[in-house]
Structure 1
């Protein structure tokens, strides 16, 4: 049986429609932390101009590969093993013909330590060196240190009980990291289940 995320299945349509205008003039997406590969399949089936490169920690790559083998297409290449905390990332040259012009990640930054979040933004800035690069981050956020809902506050407590270095991140801290690597805040979309989809762009 293929690995399956009920949350990814529930939010796939709203994620697609939110990404649609962002990806309208972009062609190659790198997903960090692809989980089960469900977003890759759904987006590329709907947007035939998009190639979507899945990546995840080595233990998760076989499950993603099986999903792409069963449900993917010629624009969902084999997933790659990528650990945010272990640079350099095994990717094409950012100024070459295979360069990525968009990065997408969902429900990852609150799982990582903040040091790994810093590494994520630093490497994302290197990957998205083209003028039209876009970084898209999906998940729960805080604003000015405040949670958007009581359920997110409870979720943060639960996260920290599992791993003290994890937790819901502050938008302002993420925006500062993005700015440090040359990315500029573009838009913040409110999403279902108390999540956000924030986009930073190059230039």
Structure 2
């Protein structure tokens, strides 16, 4: 499982992510305001599963399906799911954004992805946009993207500059993505940026809607 967070392993196989615990409430506030009151959400690169559990519990009328290409992550998601017992939280899917053979049929109202595109090659972002464009079943369907970004019209926080450099040191294919490049890529798949939300710790939520 690709992560820059320090994970604690719990006895039942669940992994505990301090970052997920810190940012869940802020992310939930945005999702609650913009997700449909009822519908199906696909989470890409769900990691430890803490976001999935927290959001499914807080949004009981939303059907939440987490996914991750990592068996370790899916085991953790399954363990958190057993703890939560939320009837609207589905078993984790095996899904790799770079492998279309693993993508589900188009049946979701929203797609959520946190902290993936900067710790994966650009091909994963390209796959995410193709996946969202194909999987969102209705015009107005939401892609919610969370993480740090480069922005031409905003100064780069020193902490994000250092973080971006550390990503490149770890893997030259990783790095903070330019917001405008991500927005342009999304547009080629019928996804239009409709809202930029500043988040704690110099992160952003970018909300895209599927065109009619």
Give the TM-score of the pair, scaled to structure 1. Answer: 0.92
Structure 1 gaps, min length 5:
none
Change in Cα spacing, 1:163 to 1:54, as seen in structure 2 (3 Å) is: same
Select 1:128's aligned residue among 132, 136, 141. 136
Quote how far apart the aligned CAs of 1:132 are: 2.6
The number of residues matched between the two structures is 198
Which residue of 2 is the match for residue 74 of structure 1?
A: 87
Secondary structure, aligned partner of 1:104: strand
- Once residues 33 and 203 of structure 2 are traced to their aligned partners in structure 1, the CA distance between those partners, rounded to angstroms, is 19
Structure 2 Cα separation of the partners of residues 141 and 31 of structure 1: 20
In the TM superposition, what whole-angstrom CA distance separates every residue of 1:166-203 from its partner, at most 9, and x where no partner exists?
00000000000110001111101000011000000012
CA contact (8 A) 2:117 2:125 kept: yes
Deviations 1:84-109 (A, max 9, x none): 11113341x31xxxx10100011000
Give the root-mean-square deviation of aligned CA atoms: 1.5
SS in 1 for 2:127: helix
Q: CA deviation at 1:113?
A: 0.6
* Residue equivalent to 2:108: 100
1:177 aligns with 2:189: no
Give a deviation string over 1:60-79, Cα, whole Å, max 9, x none. 21111111111241111110
Supply the distance in 1 between the matched residues of 2:32 and 2:135 (Cα, whole angstroms): 21
Runs of 5+ unmatched residues, structure 2: 1-9
Structure 1: distance between partners of 2:28 and 2:178:
24
- Listed as ranges, the matches of 1:29-108 within 5 Å are 29-59=41-71, 60-91=73-104, 93-94=105-106, 99-108=107-116
Query: In the superposition, relative to structure 1, how do residues 173 and 145 fare at CA in structure 2: closer, same or farther (>3 Å)?
Result: farther
Check conservation: 2:37, 2:61, Cα contact below 8 A: no
Contact 1:103 1:124 in 2 (8 A): yes
Q: TM-score, normalised by structure 2?
A: 0.89
User: What SS is found at the alignment partner of 1:148?
Assistant: coil
Q: Distance in 2 between matches of 1:72 and 1:141?
A: 35
